Amino acid sequence: MSARKVVVTQRFFDEATIDYLRHNGCDVVIAELPAGKADGDVPESTLRDWLQDAKGWIVGHARVTRELLLALPQLKIVSRRGVGYERVDVAAIRDLGRVATIAAGGNDATVADQTIGMMLALGRRFREGQAGIARGSWAIPLGTDLYRKTVGVIGLGRIGRSVVKRLAAFECKVLVHAPREDADLAARLGFEYVDLDAVLAQSDYLTLHAPLTPQTRFLIRDETIRAMKPTAFVINTARGGLVEDRHLLNALQNQRLAGAGLDVFMSESDSGYQSVTQELASLPNVIAQPHSGASTREGLDRTNMIAARCVVAVLNGENPPSECVVADGRTTVTR
Residues 139 and 252 in one domain: yes
Q: Decide: residue 95, CB within 10 A, 0-12 exposed, 13-18 middle, 19+ buried.
A: middle
Residues 231 and 280 in one domain: yes
Residues 207 and 88 in one domain: no
- Which residue would you say has higher pLDDT here, 245 or 2? 245
Q: 253 Cβ partners below 8 Å, 6+ apart?
A: 283
pLDDT of residue 128: 97
Residue 72 confidence (pLDDT) above 80:
yes
DSSP of 51-87: TTT-SEEEESS--B-HHHHHH-TT--EEEESSS--TT
Number of CB atoms found within 10 A of residue 332's CB: 10
- CA-to-CA distance for 230 and 60, rounded, in angstroms? 36
**53 conformational bin, left if phi > 0, alpha if psi -120 to 50, beta if neither:** left
Sign (positive or negative) of CA dihedral 165, 168, 174, 180: positive
Residues 14 and 142 in one domain: no
Residue 335 confidence (pLDDT) above 70:
no
Dmax of the chain from CA atoms? 65
**φ, ψ for residue 258, nearest 5 deg:** -85, -25
Least Cα distance to 209 among 280, 111, 294, 292 occurs for 111
The pLDDT-based confidence of 84 (bands split at 50, 70, 90) is confident
- The CATH number assigned to the domain holding 30 equals 3.40.50.720
Residues 163 and 73 in one domain: no
pLDDT of residue 121: 98
Number of CB atoms found within 10 A of residue 195's CB: 10
Residues 88 and 112 in one domain: no
Residues 224 and 237 in one domain: yes
**239 among known catalytic residues:** yes
The pLDDT-based confidence of 332 (bands split at 50, 70, 90) is low
Query: What mean pLDDT, rounded, does the chain reach?
Result: 96
Q: Which of 34-38, 226-230, 327-331 has the highest mean pLDDT?
A: 226-230
Residues 10 and 148 in one domain: no
- CA-to-CA distance for 219 and 236, rounded, in angstroms? 11
Q: Decide: residue 208, CB within 10 A, 0-12 exposed, 13-18 middle, 19+ buried.
A: buried
- Assign 5 to helix, strand or coil: strand
249-265 burial by CB neighbour count: b if 16+ within 10 A, else e?
bebbeeebbbbbbbbbb
The pLDDT-based confidence of 37 (bands split at 50, 70, 90) is confident
How does pLDDT run across 243-291, given as a tens digit for each residue? 999 999 999 999 999 999 999 999 998 999 999 999 999 999 999 999 9
DSSP of 96-157: TT-EEE--TTSSHHHHHHHHHHHHHHHHTTHHHHHHHHHTT--PPPP----TT-EEEEE--S
Residues 121 and 250 in one domain: yes
- Which of these is catalytic: 87, 124, 256, 291? 291
Residues 273 and 140 in one domain: yes
pLDDT of residue 224: 98
Q: Which of 82-91, 98-107, 298-307 has the lowest mean pLDDT?
A: 82-91
Q: Quick one: what percent of the chain has pLDDT higher than 90?
A: 94
DSSP of 216-243: TTT-BSHHHHHTS-TT-EEEE-S-TTSB
Which residue range forms the structural domain that includes residue 191?
A: 108-288
150: β partners: 173
- CA-to-CA distance for 238 and 84, rounded, in angstroms? 9
Residues 264 and 328 in one domain: no
**4 among known catalytic residues:** no
- Which of these is catalytic: 61, 161, 177, 268? 268
- The total number of residues written for the chain in this structure: 335
**268 among known catalytic residues:** yes
Rounded mean pLDDT of 290-307? 96
- CA-to-CA distance for 85 and 275, rounded, in angstroms? 26
Q: Domains in the chain: how many in total?
A: 2
Residues 165 and 241 in one domain: yes
